[in-house]
Amino acid sequence: MVQATPFLLVLFLALGAHGLSVKKCSLTGRWVNDLGSNMTITTVNANGVFAGSYHTAVTATTNEIKVSPLQGCMQKSPNQKGQPTFGFTVNWTFSDSITVFTGQCFVDDDGKEVLKTMWLLRSRVENIKNDWKATRVGTNVFTRLPSQE
């Protein structure tokens, strides 16, 4: 028992230090995805509610692309372990469409933050008969852009 005490102490300290050094994924900042779209998340409040802007690189319309606002929410449960799940909506200012994203903020094996997302893009259609073709689905992977300070 006497010999076990220092061993347990070292183990406890090692596990504690590991827990402290694990990098957390933060949503705040500038991101680029695999399509070349840029997203900025400006604020994440204490409840996990966030806002920002989205500059898409592509559009399903013929309209001129404009930077559009996004609003979202990050899970704040204690089980998230620094890699939180989240969802956000982009309300496109240059089209009649709306996109919802859902995803998780990961720290990869190289310590880089990455957002793995899935999205649904809902376009407006003229009548209910065209509803079947109104929703596109896809995935996007976002990586962090350097902050502009």
What binding mask, one character per residue, do residues 77-106 give for ligand BTN by CB under 6 A, x or -?
---------------x--x-x-x-------
Q: What is the three-class DSSP state of 101?
A: strand
Query: Using the rule CB under 6 A, which residue among 44, 56, 88, 113 binds ligand BTN?
Result: 56
- State yes or no: residue 58 binds ligand BTN (CB under 6 A): yes
- State yes or no: residue 119 binds ligand BTN (CB under 6 A): yes
Look up residue 114 and give its DSSP letter.
Answer: E
> What's the rounded Cα separation, in Å, for the pair 102 and 139?
9
Q: What is the three-class DSSP state of 9?
A: helix
35 burial via Cβ count (<10 Å: 0-12, 13-18, 19+): exposed
Query: Using the rule CB under 6 A, which residue among 8, 11, 13, 35 binds ligand BTN?
Result: 35
Rounded to a whole number of angstroms, the CA Rg of the chain reads: 20
Stretch that binds ligand BTN, among 12-20, 42-50, 58-66, 108-116 (CB under 6 A): 58-66
Give the binding site for ligand BTN (CB under 6 A): 33, 35, 37, 56, 58-61, 92, 95, 97, 99, 119, 121, 138, 140
